[in-house]
């Protein structure tokens, strides 16, 4: 799936679109890739002498992959966007540095109406190690209600 196709499924845009490509997608699972070039804005302050990708960025990339997955499962979002409601059991196990590429795997584990429960794993391709794993939930929210906050 190209960047334009990804943008047609989720509302995220640069500089905060954190998925470069969809490697595979079927049913309740999606696999995405993201290459961190080192030009991303957060490296200037996290940390200037030893830049590393913040863990929350790895979580956000996973949630964006989940949003693409949900758009395929739900079909027409009908003016709604996926909004994260929780993250559980977050573990950071490997450092992702500028120049690294990660593989992001997200699986839908349960759905209750418009509430979705997913699990994510981010693997650092440079080391082959799991960089991050966690469970998260999101719900579909009307875009009008997100703008009034």
Give DSSP secondary structure letters for 55-74: HHHHHHHHHHHHHHHHHHHH
Per-residue pLDDT for 101 more than 60?
yes
Q: In the annotation, is 46 catalytic?
A: yes
Lowest mean pLDDT among 52-61, 79-88, 112-121, 136-145: 136-145
Flag whether the pTM goes above 0.85. yes
One CATH from 1.10.8.10, 3.90.1150.10, 3.40.50.300, 3.10.129.10 for 3-147: 3.10.129.10
Lowest mean pLDDT among 32-46, 53-67, 134-148: 134-148
In the chain, where the domains are located = 3-147
Per-residue pLDDT for 147 more than 80?
no
DSSP state of 78: T
Return the pLDDT at 81: 86
Q: Which of 114, 111, 90, 94 is nearest to 103 (CA)?
A: 94
Per-residue pLDDT for 145 more than 80?
no
Question: What are the residue ranges of helices labelled H in the chain?
Answer: 3-9, 55-74, 143-147
Catalytic residue among 46, 119, 121, 125: 46
């Amino acid at each position: 799936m190209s960047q334009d196709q990804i943008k047609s499924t989720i509302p995220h845009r640069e500089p905060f679109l954190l998925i470069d490509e969809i490697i595979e997608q079927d049913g309740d699972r999606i696999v995405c890739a993201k290459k961190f070039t080192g030009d991303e804005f957060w490296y200037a302050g996290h940390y200037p002498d030893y830049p590393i990708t913040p863990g929350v960025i790895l979580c956000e990339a996973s949630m964006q992959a989940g949003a693409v997955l949900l758009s395929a499962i739900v079909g027409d979002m009908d003016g709604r966007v996926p909004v994260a409601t929780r993250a559980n059991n977050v573990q950071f196990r490997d450092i992702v540095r500028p120049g690294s590429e990660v593989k992001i795997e997200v699986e839908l584990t349960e759905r209750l109406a418009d509430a979705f429960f997913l699990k994510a794993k981010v693997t650092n391709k440079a080391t082959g190690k799991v960089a991050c794993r966690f469970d998260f939930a999101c719900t579909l929210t009307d875009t009008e209600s997100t703008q009034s906050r």
